[in-house]
Structure formats: C-alpha cells, structure tokens
Amino acid sequence: MTHAAPLLLIGCGKMGGAMLAGWLNGGQAAGGVHVVEPHAEAMGALAARSDVTVHATADAVPADLAPSVVVLAVKPQSMDEALAPLARFVAPSTCFLSIAAGKTIGYFETHLGAGAAIVRAMPNTPAAVGRGITAYVANAHVTPAQKTHAHGLLESVGEVIEAEREDWLDPVTALSGGGPAYVFLLIETLAAAGEKAGLPADFAMKLARATVSGSGELARQASEPASQLRINVTSPGGTTAEALRVLMDETTGIQPIFDKAIAAATARSKELAG
C-alpha cells in the first residue's frame, strides 16, 4: 500500500533505522520520510536518499508538514523531550505510532491531548534482520485505515499481531520483548553444559548457536506445533528423552523457571509504566 502523505520518524537509531530501511525497500514511503535525528551521520546511506529529509531537531520540520504517521522511536527516557515540539502535528489525519517500551497510551494522551490517535507497539530485536515480532494496541481515535497503515509500517521489520487490550503489553514485553535475551542465554547455557560434558568451548558454542538458530528456522517453516517438533526429535528410551525428563520435570524443570521469569518481567514492566 502506498500513502501520498509523508511519514515523520522521530529517532533513527537501531530500531528507527531498521524500520526506515524497511519502508524504503518495501515501497511504503511514497510520500517521502522526514526524519528527526540528532546523529544524521550515523544513518549512513539512508540520510542521502532523495526521499528522506533529515532534521536535527523537530523544530526544523516544515510547519505545514501533515504526516500520515508520526513514528516515535526514541528511548523511553528521551520521550518527554521528543514529544514537546510534536503536539502541533496532532490532527485527525495523523496517527502517532510509538515503539517505546513502557510508554502507555495514557502517557501519550497526556502529552499530545486526549483526542490524539495513538498506536502503542512493542517490537523485539530480531527486527534488525527483518525477523521481529511486534504486538500493538490502538486507542479509540485510530481509524481502521490508520490501523492498517500502522500495521503495514510495523510489518517492515517482521511479523505483527494486534493485542485486544493494552494490559497485554506488559506480558508481551516480558515474553517477546525480552525473549531474544532468553534465547541467547539458552545458547550460552547449552554451550556451557556441552563444555562441562567434555567438549572444547569453541566447538560447543558453534554447536549451540547453530542448533538454536536452526531450530528457530525449522519452527518458523514447519506447520506442526512446537510440541510435535519436539516429539519428532525424541526417540522413546533415547538420549533426548533422558534430557527432557530433566528439563520437563514439573517442579525442577524449565516451565516453573520460565513462569517465574515471565511473571517477574511482567511485574517490572507494570512498575516502569507507572
């Protein structure tokens, strides 16, 4: 889908840069993109494109710009400062799309006005390779067309799923927001365990990294549920069954540990959101 109105991107770091590259490659920036980013030099070739206009501050954005979407991709701690000059863009035809962790729809309504159309989204770091997953929620001022547009912009860095309720965003943050860290930890722990079982460190790490990334790709491509993929690897009475007996123990296996971890991260997300 193309939109003639320009996009306005606030913050073009890791996440904003990945999204901008996705929009440009995916033809989602037909109306051009205005970018507010103090470190234009870090944007590389993106800043040199004819359909991208970079401003060092929001005050430098043309007064008559009427963006279809203002994408907020600054760190949560920079958001107050970033929002201050943006209230002038609030209009029924403009939707604000935030990817900042922990910044609630109520927070944006306080800063931009209760009538602003706001989408709050939570992506994750595989977005950097176009393989993220983003959950989002929209307030009542977001029209169906704006929601479709926001959904499409988020899809430039991976899969997208709409949350029915904003309070889902806390467990979403715990599960998929932090999830890549748990998977990287799995690589580390698998490798360390392999080393303790007698393998050289580098050798064990190569096996662990390829096993986790390859299994992830298999899970993505396969039509079977994860439980069936697990069963497919497990011969009765074999070696994998022995490991799973330990890992799937109801009291000492990984489920109770993940229950605790996700509950702790969810509680922390609620605390940070205030």
Ligand X SMILES: NC(=O)c1ccc[n+]([C@@H]2O[C@H](COP(=O)([O-])OP(=O)(O)OC[C@H]3O[C@@H](n4cnc5c(N)ncnc54)[C@H](OP(=O)(O)O)[C@@H]3O)[C@@H](O)[C@H]2O)c1
Using only C-alpha atoms, what is the Rg of the chain? 22
Q: To which residue do tokens 């007064």 refer?
A: 63
Chosen residue from 30, 40, 101, 183 binding ligand X by CB under 6 A? 101
Q: Segment near ligand X (CB under 6 A), from 69-77, 110-118, 207-215, 248-256? A: 69-77
Tell me how long the chain is: 274
Say if strands 7-10 and 33-36 run parallel, antiparallel, or are unpaired.
parallel
User: Is residue 22 a contact point for ligand X (CB under 6 A)?
Assistant: no
Residue 75 corresponds to which amino acid? K
User: Is residue 37 a contact point for ligand X (CB under 6 A)?
Assistant: yes
Based on CB atoms, which residue is closest to ligand X, 56 or 145? 56
User: Is residue 86 a contact point for ligand X (CB under 6 A)?
Assistant: no
| Residues 112 and 90: beta-carbon distance below 8 Å | yes
User: Is residue 82 a contact point for ligand X (CB under 6 A)?
Assistant: yes
Based on CB atoms, which residue is closest to ligand X, 77 or 221? 77
Query: Could you tell me what percentage of the chain is helix, strand and coil, using 3-state DSSP and rounding each to the nearest 5?
Result: 55, 15, 30
Residue 191 corresponds to which amino acid? A
Q: HSE on the CB side for 26, CA within 13 Å?
A: 18
Burial class (CB in 10 A: 0-12, 13-18, 19+), 235: exposed
User: Is residue 46 a contact point for ligand X (CB under 6 A)?
Assistant: no
How many C-beta neighbours within 10 Å does residue 123 have?
A: 24
Chosen residue from 7, 8, 15, 61 binding ligand X by CB under 6 A? 15
Minimal CB distance to ligand X: which residue?
A: 13
User: Is residue 67 a contact point for ligand X (CB under 6 A)?
Assistant: no
User: Is residue 178 a contact point for ligand X (CB under 6 A)?
Assistant: no
User: Is residue 123 a contact point for ligand X (CB under 6 A)?
Assistant: yes
Q: Segment near ligand X (CB under 6 A), from 95-103, 139-147, 157-165, 214-222? A: 95-103
Q: Least distance in Å: CB of 112 to ligand X?
A: 15
Chosen residue from 29, 71, 95, 100 binding ligand X by CB under 6 A? 100
Q: To which residue do tokens 């999204």 refer?
A: 19
Say if strands 95-98 and 117-122 run parallel, antiparallel, or are unpaired.
parallel
Which residues sit at the interface with ligand X, rule CB under 6 A? Answer: 10-11, 13-16, 36-39, 73-76, 78, 81-82, 99-101, 123-125, 177
